[in-house]
Amino acid sequence: MEALLTKKVAIVTGGASGLGLAIATRFVAEGSKVVIADIDQQAGEDLVARLGTNARFIKTDVSKPSDITSLVDFTIREFDGLDIMVNNAGISGKVYQRFLDDDLADFHKVIDVNLLGVMLGSQYAGSYMAAQGSGSIINISSIAGIKPGLPLISYRVAKAGVIHFTKSIARELGEYAVRVNCIAPGHIPAGQTFYDMSEMVARVQPLKRQGAPMDVANAALYLASHLSEQVTGLVLPVDGGSCLGGPLPQQQG
């Protein structure tokens, strides 16, 4: 049976660690050539050394338009095309800071990476895909963008923006057979986890197992492959059912 991403070329931003690492690894295993874009040069180069000849690395700050244009140009030059864009790079901001004490510079930084970075990646990759008449853009949001709450106000605002941005451009790019979808991971340890969430997950999630980065990678594989060729504008929670609400009455206590 042929691998799902044979002859495909993908970019994964924030691909050197966490969810991005899992996605890049899964894509290479399914036959894709992958360019890993990350601010962490050492981690990116180490990952490429492990993944082999179908992987490349380029240091990228996704909040800078010049870095994104260089990323897309590099990918096309190295692998002669671009079929899949995964906008995964993200930062959490100051985790325990109240909104009333929020620092404007920190707020801007989170928005610039988590929302502007997605917009830039989608625009530059989407322009190439529209011209070729095919492609898949996958934006990584979060259930924090679906459910209001505290803390991480700037993070939640950015991730909510990613969801609405995804749906909006899916309508425009559909004309060019470019699909745009969004994954909203739940409580998944992925390099930005500051405390053990396993007990909380068992208490509030309908599916009691805490998710892993490879769960998100499998969802990304579906959205990148021909298996989802009629799917666009989708927001896919990978959250064990967290978005369904709290525990049932008989589960409490």
35: its two tokens: 């360019």
Confidence (pLDDT) at 191: 60
Would you place residue 192 in the very low, low, confident or very high pLDDT band (cuts 50, 70, 90)? low
SS (H, E, C) 81-92: CCCEEEECCCCC
Nearest of 215, 129, 221 to residue 170 by alpha carbon: 129
Residue 200 falls within a domain, yes or no? yes
Residue 168 falls within a domain, yes or no? yes
Residue 173 falls within a domain, yes or no? yes
Given a cut of 90, is residue 247 above it in pLDDT?
Answer: no
| Mean pLDDT, rounded, for 112-119 | 98
Residue 198 falls within a domain, yes or no? yes
Residues labelled catalytic:
155
Residue 3 falls within a domain, yes or no? no
Residue 117 falls within a domain, yes or no? yes
Is pTM beyond 0.85? Reply is yes
Given a cut of 60, is residue 248 above it in pLDDT?
Answer: no
| Mean pLDDT, rounded, for 160-166 | 98
Residue 93 falls within a domain, yes or no? yes
SS (H, E, C) 210-251: CCCHHHHHHHHHHHHCHHHCCCCCCEEEECCCHHHCCCCHHH
Q: What are phi and psi of 231, to 5 degrees?
A: -115, 120
- Expressed as residue numbers, the domain containing 110 is 9-251
Would you place residue 20 in the very low, low, confident or very high pLDDT band (cuts 50, 70, 90)? very high
Residue 215's CATH number? 3.40.50.720
Confidence (pLDDT) at 252: 47
What percent of the chain lies above the pLDDT cut of 70?
A: 92
Given a cut of 50, is residue 52 above it in pLDDT?
Answer: yes
* Bridge partner list, 9: 33
Q: Total structural domains in the chain?
A: 1
Nearest of 4, 13, 2, 24 to residue 216 by alpha carbon: 24
Residue 206 falls within a domain, yes or no? yes
Contact predicate 116/157, CB 8 Å: no
Q: What are phi and psi of 128, to 5 degrees?
A: -65, -45
CB atoms within 10 A of CB 111: 18
Of 110-119, 130-139, 187-196, 216-225, give the lowest mean pLDDT range. Answer: 187-196
- Write down the number of H helices and E strands in the chain: 8, 7
pLDDT 10s digits, 57-89: 999 999 999 999 999 999 999 999 999 999 999
Confidence (pLDDT) at 19: 98
Contact predicate 37/11, CB 8 Å: yes
Contact predicate 93/154, CB 8 Å: yes
**Residue of higher predicted confidence among 58 and 96:** 58
